[in-house]
Structure 1
Amino acid sequence: MDKNGLNEDTLSKYLSISLGVMSLLAIIGLLVNSRFETTEVLSSIINLTQVAIPVFVLIFTISLRNKSKSFLDVGTCALEKVQKKYPDRLQGPKYFRVNYDPEKGEGLKYLFFSYDSKSRGAKFVPVQNLEEGILAIYVQKNMLSWALGWGEGDNVQDEDIKKIQIEVEQAVTKLIVDKYKGFYEKLDDNSKNTAIIIDFDENKMGFNKYEKAVYECVETAYLAIIKHRQDKKK
């Protein structure tokens, strides 16, 4: 996604159509100037065909590419982009179990939050529900113990977890209220591990807006959490 919210496919399509329109106007101008002589008309038809075919092929190719996408694909892509931006702290998306064979069962994929690139990760964002437009963000004991370096046992209290969950919920809620009003609803959840669950109207948003929303929400949550990182305790 570029700064103006246009992806490369959309930009290419607009440029090609614009060039096609300009070429068509030029051909019409030549016809008018030649007073529609038969030779010029035939020549213009050939030129118009040469201009139109690449434009139609490009539009058709982009349409096929979009049809092959799913909201799970673009949601996963958003998580991958966040991970690439913060590779020292985020892992995945990947299966929860090490050396998991997806052909032996469905399994579950997550974006993981870790203390560093080599440390054990804690579940941060589940992948599967992104297909239905549902983004869940976890903050749980393992995240504080492993990913934020608080250590095991009594170092992590329930009130500590709740405090960070509230901060994440407030930060992400502010984002979606400001930028995605009318495109989501917040879901209630009884799990003590969840900071926030958002049900986006993915069909109304389309691929690009949905991908951007997932990316921004996850990054916002990450930034709210990482400030609680401590020197690692044993």
Structure 2
Amino acid sequence: ASVSVPNSGSFATKSGKQDPNDSAYADWNIVVNKSQSTLKDVVVTDQPSSNQIVDPDSIVIYGTTIDSNGNVTENTADKLVEGTDYTVNLDTNQTTGEQTLKISFSNQISTAYSIDYKALINSSLTNDTLSNTVSITGNGEKTVNQDVTSSTKVVNNGGSSTGTNLNLVIQKNDQDTGKVIVGAEFALYSVSNGQKGQLLRTGTTDSNG
């Protein structure tokens, strides 16, 4: 006899949409290990396009339920704990803004998990497309290495929008002496509803202030 296994060979899928409650953000979802393979050393790497900025505080991982047809449903009652069940490393190039998000599962897995996070839309276009390339690696009876790419269209409200990305240069000087100050730390935040929003970039002054 033979049995077909739903989602066999599916280790990572990704989908996204513009947040219906806050159009400044996109909501992304990654489903890990739909095939329900037994894997260890699982690492999910996500490289978003430059027109979005990942909000690290929004990252959450849930367990799932899977029916006999292979349909995966997120189980929000089964929430994994960062630092115990998984670790997050979000690397941001402070000059270019390019990001790489790595999520490493601490333990062996044998079922599917759902990763949710938000990304701030960083675009001056009225209509734009956000994209992500996700790869997953892991070890089981064989080594797993799979890449998937996903995209979603977004609309910037307000009818029209103009703007350009630019290089922002800040120099820190002592108010009394005028000498440059080395090692001063700056943080650049977005603005959301008139309040300080998501952290975008950080920087520390060099020998030239």
Could you tell me the TM-score, scaled by structure 2's length? 0.26
TM-score, normalised on structure 1?
A: 0.24
Higher relative contact order (CA 8 A, sep 6+): 2
| Bigger proportion of residues as helix | 1
